[in-house]
Amino acid sequence: MSDASVYVHIPFCKSRCAYCDFTSFTSIGMISDYTSALIREIKKASETQSRLRVPTVFIGGGTPSLLLPEQLIQIFEALRSGFEIDENAEITIEANPGTLSESFLKAAKDCGVNRISMGVQAWQPRLLEILGRIHRQKEVTESADLLSKLGFDNWNADLMMGLPTQTTDELFESIDVMKTLGAKHLSCYSLILEDGTRLFGDVRSGKYRMQTDEQDREMYRSMTEYMGKLGYHQYEISNFAYPDMECRHNLIYWRRKPYIGFGCAAASQVGNRRYKNTASLADYISGVSAHCEEETISVREAEKETVMLSLRLREGITDEKLLKKLAPYTKPLTDGGFMEHSGKALRLTKTGMDVMDEIIVRLWEGLDAIS
Amino acid sequence: MSERMDRIRNFCIIAHIDHGKSTLADRLLEKTGVFQKREMVEQILDSMELERERGITIKSKAVRMKYTAKDGNEYILNLIDTPGHVDFAYEVSRALAACEGALLVVDATQGVEAQTLANVYMAFDHDLETVPVINKIDLPSAQPDVVKKEIEDVIGIDTEDAPCISAKNGINIEDVLEAVVKRVPAPKGDADKPLQALIFDANYDNYRGAICYVRIMQGTIKAGTRMHLMATGGEFDVVEVGYFEPGYVPCEELRPGDVGYIAASIKDVRDTRVGDTITDAAAPASEPLPGYRPAVPMVFCGIYPADGARYDDLHDALDKLHMNDASLSFEPETSAALGYGFRCGFLGLLHMEIIQERLEREFDLDLVTTAPSVVYHIKKANGEEVSVDNPSNLPPIGEIIGMEEPFVHAEIYTPKDSVGTLMELCKDKRGTFIDMQYEGSRVKLNYELPLNEIIFDFFDQVKSRSRGYASFDYELNGYQESDLVKLDILLNGDVCDAFSLIVHRDKAYARGRGICEKLKDAIPRQLFEIPIQAAIGGKVIARETVKAVRKDVLAKCYGGDITRKKKLLEKQKEGKKRMRQFGTVELPSEAFMAVLKISDE
């Protein structure tokens, strides 16, 4: 039996955040039809291929906590009847503070969900306002209390840094609060200004000013140090966890292991193929559209992806054959202090992380030169 | 005078930009049946894509029309279309010398403009009968009578019978043709005298070689004539003569007053210099026609292929363009930063831009060009004198005892209200005021200016400061001693030759600072910090730094993001391919372009 992780996308949100350019819809009335379409897709997939063993499940969004408890249950029924979900599988569901209800969490518990990822982003109301987040501080603490009450010990908080007007102390405060509330895992991403978002307009009009790259990097360095002090060890460029609390599902992506995505705009990677579902909600629900952006990944492409993804990880590039090929090109980078050996593996140094894209491109050029 | 010559009219059209010169030409061609309406494209004489797009004429062209006038006779009307920019002032003057008359097109809503005046004076210089034509009379704001009066007051030509037309809508076009017949004098010239044919342009044809566009002043020429070029000394056997209709249409012979072409299997377009006189080798004229001037490149720059592997393609392309344009010069050069390329010489900045654009469009080349330079005269301590058109070739400072730079005599025609700002501009560009003359509501400013100041953005500045009203013409006016320095740009501590400039000492600081600032934005952040310095003879006068960080690394990269992220990185990788490696620094083409757009402010 072969392995594949499962991702289920719930592309609905109560309102759109100011910085977000992901596929998400505010037409909450369509969730019921969407759930039916999801279940249809899951069933069809499980019928057309041999039974898969599933080490991790991730219900992401959007805001999956907008699902009704019975919708969540139906989805898991379909998953469990179609796939062999490991007994000790990591099963995560994303939630936004303020949308988490006790009944939902209970249903999640019944479904076997054992990890919650909360979109907190920042603790300070001023910053939440800039981001266009609709939750309040009280809702964050209430959600955390609820998690603890229902025994969800393993939970993550998403935080953001490099926000307009944000200070390093404020970022530390957000981290402190999450620690106090019991988060075992924190992810902390820099704000990226995406064209067409509301925040993009706010910045262009001069309402807000983005942090300079230098300020952002400075904040990043302080942040990683602080995380370490608090016991959250960095295992990926933007992800931190207590020991053994890393997100196993996301590691599947970064280690280029197979995954199947269900839902509108969800991506799958099985064998040497990667494809996406339609990003049109109407097409997805009516079931008319086939996979799009389908690509077959050559051995060379796979190597490039391994470089691109492994360098995000603290463990670095571990594939020995690949390391051998890259050796002539990594040498100047280790000499320059951008990469370092860790046992047999090769990883980015702190300096290297600031220029990761450039390093990836250089190693790719090396791979191109070999062929 | 022969009846044949009596039925010929040679004329050109002069106008301020946008007053309807090309549209009127189109109408005349249509009216005389050269083209059927359905065959017409706009600006038919501007056949180059670039000419149509920019609304300018780059090469002179001619077309022969047949028109039966109201007097019942059929006339041959030769329209010679001329370029309209100072870079090509010489070419224009030769085209005008081939005519007896000029149609002066004036916009009925705008009246006489600065450029109108400049053109009129050029026509007067060539003793052309100038026929005013009032265009755009169908526009609601047209004031033909006011404009007529203005023409009489400002220019001093009679407008009583001036045709009032709309070229766009084909109104009263026939009046224009009648005016040409009635007012433009018939050509003169004795068929029995020794041949004198004026070359007003040349074009390269793959089958027939370089083809001379000529106006026969006296004598005759036909296939088989052994022709002699009086300035370049070349001799060729004429293969074919003919007219432009507007394609090449062969005829028996060309006679005095005719405008046509001569093909003589001339391999090298350099043998057919604009302004040269063709005569009969067997019975040569004693004197060439007046006004010949060899084309002298005034502005030089390095042109390099963005992709070094396309050097040969660039070479071929320059060869081909040169076939049609003897005023373009080029020779190979190498640069530490840019690799193999060519040092190219041009008549002026527009000419340079046009060549660059044609290379990119017609030959699909991506180019990197260096900052334009002029030719400097260097006096060395050992008594030697050298000319330098590339700052990198400047002898070591210690060997130099003096430097001279070329100056021009500049004439700027401008409305009164822009005089102040234009004088400021000239002062800023190290100009010396000579005098100014009031001509009606216009002012003619005379300045002496260093050529190296006007090759940058002077023309654009003149236009923008006068809101498009001022016109500018210049001619080279010798060399003068000047306090010049070589400004070097150092990247990561090494002089990057492609950025070196020769500038006046007073301008060096501002220019150096400007370049460093531009480069800071144009050079992408790289693994290392890159210091950018401007220096004069080892002394650093400005400094900027490209920081070594980027932040795009922090974008999320989950399952659904891999393809997008990979594409972005692939793009970054492709971008690097087009970058120049200079030591450890990677330079994008934009960096070289950015430096070209520096002003002193």
Residues of chain A in contact with residue B562, where contact means CB-CB under 8 angstroms, are: 253, 267, 269, 274, 305, 308-309
* Mean pLDDT in residue range B403-412: 91
Please tell me the least confidently modeled range out of A1-5, A127-131, B97-101, B114-118: B114-118
Helix (H) or strand (E) holding B219: none
Q: CATH number of the domain at A5-254, please? A: 3.80.30.20
Identify the residue with better confidence: B597 or B251.
Answer: B251
Residue with tokens 């179609």: A82
Residues of chain B in contact with residue A276, where contact means CB-CB under 8 angstroms, are: 560, 563
Task: Examine the pLDDT at B49 and tell me if it is beyond 70.
Answer: no
Beta carbons of B600 and B513 less than 8 angstroms apart? no
User: What does the pLDDT read at residue B298?
Assistant: 83
Task: Examine the pLDDT at B412 and tell me if it is beyond 80.
Answer: yes
> What residues pair up with B402 in beta bridges, in sequence order?
B379
In chain A, the percentage of residues whose pLDDT exceeds 70 is 99
Closest CA–CA distance from residue A149 to any residue of chain B (Å): 30
User: What does the pLDDT read at residue B287?
Assistant: 92
Closest CA to B112 of B578, B469, B548: B469
Backbone φ/ψ region at B23: left (φ over 0), alpha (ψ -120 to 50), beta? alpha
Chain A with chain B: Cβ pairs closer than 8 A: 99
User: What does the pLDDT read at residue A317?
Assistant: 97
User: pLDDT tens across B113-133, in order?
Assistant: 766 776 787 788 889 999 999
Strand B61-68 relative to strand B74-81: parallel, antiparallel, unpaired? antiparallel
Three-state secondary structure call for residue A106:
helix
User: What does the pLDDT read at residue B307?
Assistant: 82
Task: Examine the pLDDT at B45 and tell me if it is beyond 70.
Answer: no
Residue B574 touches chain A, beta carbons under 8 Å: no
Mutation site, A57, A189, A251, A357, interface B, largest B CB count within 10 A: A357
Does A357 contact B572 at a Cβ distance shorter than 8 Å? Answer: yes
Cα distances (angstroms) measured from residue B64 to each of B15, B67, B186, B254: 21, 10, 15, 13
* Mean pLDDT in residue range A120-127: 96
User: What does the pLDDT read at residue B36?
Assistant: 61
Does B551 contact A162 at a Cβ distance shorter than 8 Å? Answer: yes
Task: Examine the pLDDT at B454 and tell me if it is beyond 50.
Answer: yes
Residues of chain B in contact with residue A190, where contact means CB-CB under 8 angstroms, are: 551, 554
Beta carbons of A325 and A348 less than 8 angstroms apart? no
Residues of chain A in contact with residue B570, where contact means CB-CB under 8 angstroms, are: 364
User: pLDDT tens across B512-558, in order?
Assistant: 999 999 999 989 888 888 999 999 988 999 999 998 766 666 678 88
> What confidence category does residue A289 fall into, taking pLDDT thresholds of 50, 70 and 90?
low
Task: Examine the pLDDT at B47 and tell me if it is beyond 60.
Answer: no
* Contact residues for A307 (Cβ-Cβ < 8 A; gap 6+): A317, A322, A326, A360, A363, A364, A367
> What confidence category does residue B423 fall into, taking pLDDT thresholds of 50, 70 and 90?
very high
User: What does the pLDDT read at residue B601?
Assistant: 46
User: What does the pLDDT read at residue A369?
Assistant: 87
**Chain B residue with Cα closest to A359:** B527
Mean predicted lDDT score pLDDT of chain B: 87
Task: Examine the pLDDT at A63 and tell me if it is beyond 60.
Answer: yes
Please tell me the least confidently modeled range out of A93-102, A227-236, A345-354, B110-119: B110-119
In CATH terms, the fold of domain A298-371 is: Arc Repressor Mutant, subunit A (1.10.10)
Both structure tokens of B330? 């080029």
Please list the alpha-helical segments (H only) found in B365-504: 419-428, 451-454, 458-465
User: What does the pLDDT read at residue B600?
Assistant: 47
User: What does the pLDDT read at residue B550?
Assistant: 66
User: pLDDT tens across B191-226, in order?
Assistant: 999 999 999 988 888 788 889 999 999 999 999 999
Beta carbons of B80 and B14 less than 8 angstroms apart? no
User: pLDDT tens across B1-25, in order?
Assistant: 578 899 999 999 988 767 788 889 8
Task: Examine the pLDDT at A199 and tell me if it is beyond 80.
Answer: yes
Task: Examine the pLDDT at B40 and tell me if it is beyond 60.
Answer: no
* Mean pLDDT in residue range A339-355: 92
> What confidence category does residue B50 fall into, taking pLDDT thresholds of 50, 70 and 90?
low
Beta carbons of B95 and B82 less than 8 angstroms apart? yes
Mutation site, A159, A361, A363, A368, interface B, largest B CB count within 10 A: A361
* Mean pLDDT in residue range B33-44: 60
In chain B, the percentage of residues whose pLDDT exceeds 70 is 92
What are the φ and ψ backbone dihedral angles of B486, each rounded to 5 degrees? -95, 125
User: pLDDT tens across A3-26, in order?
Assistant: 999 999 999 999 889 998 877 899
Does B559 contact A355 at a Cβ distance shorter than 8 Å? Answer: no
Do A5-254 and A298-371 agree at the fold level? no
User: pLDDT tens across B237-293, in order?
Assistant: 999 999 988 788 999 999 999 999 999 998 877 788 889 999 999 999 999 998 887
Rounded CA separation B174/A113 (Å): 89
Mean predicted lDDT score pLDDT of chain A: 93
Closest CA–CA distance from residue A249 to any residue of chain B (Å): 10
User: What does the pLDDT read at residue B41?
Assistant: 54
Who among B527, B556, B566 is closest to A338 (CB)?
B527
* Mean pLDDT in residue range B135-160: 91
User: What does the pLDDT read at residue B57?
Assistant: 62
Domain ranges of chain A: 5-254, 298-371
User: pLDDT tens across B323-353, in order?
Assistant: 777 788 899 999 888 889 999 999 887 788 8
Residue A162 touches chain B, beta carbons under 8 Å: yes
b vs e for B345-372, b when ≥16 Cβ sit within 10 Å of the residue's Cβ?
bbbbbbbbbbbbebbeeebebebbbbbb
Q: Is the ipTM of this complex over 0.85?
A: yes
Does B562 contact A295 at a Cβ distance shorter than 8 Å? Answer: no
Three-state secondary structure call for residue B278:
strand
* Contact residues for A289 (Cβ-Cβ < 8 A; gap 6+): A277, A278, A280, A283
Mutation site, B526, B551, B585, interface A, largest A CB count within 10 A: B551
**Chain A residue with Cα closest to B566:** A305
Please tell me the least confidently modeled range out of A103-112, A227-236, B514-523: B514-523
CA dihedral B205, B211, B213, B215 (to 10 degrees): -150
Task: Examine the pLDDT at A80 and tell me if it is beyond 70.
Answer: yes
Rounded CA separation B147/B162 (Å): 11
